[in-house]
Amino acid sequence: MSPLALKDAQHIVLQHAVALGAESIDLLQALGRVLAQDIRSNRDHPPYAVSAMDGYAVRAADLSAVPVQMPVVADIKAGELPSIILGAGQCARIMTGAKIPDGADAVIRVEDTQASASHRVQINVSAQAGKDIRQRGENLRTGEIVLAAGSEITPGALGILAMVKCARVQVRQRPRVAILSSGDELEGLHDAFDANKIPDANSYALMAQVQALGIQPTLLGIARDDPAELRGMLALGLQHDVLLVSGGTSVGVHDFVRPTLEALGVQMHFWRVQMRPGHPAAFGTTASGKVFCLPGNPVASMVSFEQLVAPALRRMMGHARLYRRTLPARLTQSLPHRAGNLEFVRVVLGRDEQGYLATPTGSQSSGVLLSMARADGLLVVPNKSEGLAAGDSATVQLLDGTAFQEYSGIEEQ
């Protein structure tokens, strides 16, 4: 099978990734989850017209000539239900969030008044009816869908769920993900230091990528390049919804992962993708699970996760937004490229008056994990490109952490 274009590989993966079932969870645990039910409001909010300001409730028609002195006939606090009916020429002191008394149709802010004799106030400005009043149901209306199934529970959405008293909420389940590293040369995090070994980075970098999506994966550890050991650990991994195996997936004589998976009944759908790093990525399914074979080189493993695994996990969690946000940036230096593969260059982002600037993070060898550790994003060099020049614009796919920046970016005037 010839290598697939990335979009075709993504298409195959997503065909096999469907949203999981629903589960009921506590609201306190719901941040970042995806709603499996429409949420309707169980109340009008505010429940009645309330004041948007600390000030005086008035009848707008009484303010045709200002300033005007008025008797203050009541003092209304938030949470109180006033029994008075405001008569012509009268006003009531009112606090933010307090119920507008019958008869009143506007609020004058305290800053636009002057206290005079006791129980009297001077109103300095006139107002249109409705001024500084929040109408009943302006925020939420009884029976109305306020959050639709499929939406992500952001902090704001979580606040709405609390307002409509959803102490428990139906959300999409999260996939159970297992991670396995393979290779005789690998040294585990807690193994004795051996200068001749290669420390296992992939288990942990992949773990972190999965965690960043809101899923706690299971680490299965390291399998040696031994068919029997590999078989046992792969079989264990296949009991999960998604198994990620790194290393041992290319065409070396000790690369046993793919044949062993096939012997275990996994149907492989592709095993090479036209992208660099990440060329040897492969994907297979069983009746109940999915397995991604990721390249051993740490950068390649992480980049293939971003392109192939993350969209699948997001879909399984019920998200509609599957892909990382992209933005255009101009290169600060030239980038050589050989036509034939889509390439993901690790970059840091800066900014000038014209927009974002992208600078490669040093050596782009797929074994140099620091290139990824320092990156804000992955700059996309298209298949056909013969190289990019300094100043050329390219698409950058943002990585985790890039929702924050060093400067506020807000121009107040």
Contacts with Mg ion by CB under 5 A lie at: 183, 247-248, 296
* Residue 389 · residue 336 · CB < 8 Å: no
Residue 46, binding choice from Mg ion, ligand AMP, none, Cβ under 5 to 8 Å by partner class: none
How does strand 242-246 pair with strand 290-294? parallel
Q: Which residues, 364 to 383, sit near ligand AMP by CB under 6 A?
A: 367
Give whichever of 146 and 223 is closer to Mg ion, judged by the CB atom. Answer: 223
Of the candidate residues 198, 268, 357, 380, the single one contacting ligand AMP (CB under 6 A): 198
Measure the CA–CA gap between 322 and 78, rounded to whole angstroms. Answer: 44
- Is position 297 an interface residue for ligand AMP (rule: CB under 6 A)? yes
- Is position 248 an interface residue for ligand AMP (rule: CB under 6 A)? yes
Measure the CA–CA gap between 346 and 302, rounded to whole angstroms. Answer: 11
Give whichever of 269 and 279 is closer to ligand AMP, judged by the CB atom. Answer: 279
Nearest approach, Cβ of 248 to ligand AMP (angstroms)? Answer: 5
Give whichever of 250 and 397 is closer to ligand AMP, judged by the CB atom. Answer: 250
- Is position 201 an interface residue for ligand AMP (rule: CB under 6 A)? yes
Nearest approach, Cβ of 277 to Mg ion (angstroms)? Answer: 15
Nearest approach, Cβ of 47 to ligand AMP (angstroms)? Answer: 58
Encode 314-325: b = buried (16+ Cβ within 10 Å), e = exposed: bbbbbbeeeebe
How does strand 275-276 pair with strand 342-352? parallel
* Residue 203 · residue 221 · CB < 8 Å: yes
Residue 341, binding choice from Mg ion, ligand AMP, none, Cβ under 5 to 8 Å by partner class: none
Q: What sign does the CA torsion over 104, 109, 112, 116 have?
A: positive
Nearest approach, Cβ of 263 to ligand AMP (angstroms)? Answer: 19
Of the candidate residues 200, 241, 306, 343, the single one contacting ligand AMP (CB under 6 A): 200
Q: How many residues bind ligand AMP (CB under 6 A)?
A: 20
Give whichever of 107 and 220 is closer to ligand AMP, judged by the CB atom. Answer: 220
- Is position 278 an interface residue for ligand AMP (rule: CB under 6 A)? no
- 140-143 contact pairs (CB < 8 A, 24+): 140/41, 140/43, 140/44, 140/45, 140/164, 141/41, 141/44, 142/41, 142/42, 142/43, 142/44, 143/40, 143/41
Q: Which residue lies nearest Mg ion, judged by its C-beta?
A: 183
Mask 147-186, x = binds ligand AMP (CB under 6 A)?
Answer: ----------------------------------x-x-xx
Q: In what order do the strands lie in the sheet with 290-294?
A: 218-223, 177-182, 242-246, 290-294, 282-285, 267-270
Q: Which residue lies nearest ligand AMP, judged by its C-beta?
A: 296
- Is position 250 an interface residue for ligand AMP (rule: CB under 6 A)? yes
Nearest approach, Cβ of 222 to ligand AMP (angstroms)? Answer: 7
Distance of CA 128 to the CA centre of its chain: 43
Q: In residues, how long is the chain?
A: 413
- Is position 252 an interface residue for ligand AMP (rule: CB under 6 A)? yes
Name beta bridge partners: 378: 346, 397
Q: Enter the tokens of residue 316.
A: 């399984």
Q: Which residues bind ligand AMP (CB under 6 A)?
A: 181, 183, 185-186, 198, 200-203, 246-250, 252, 295-298, 367
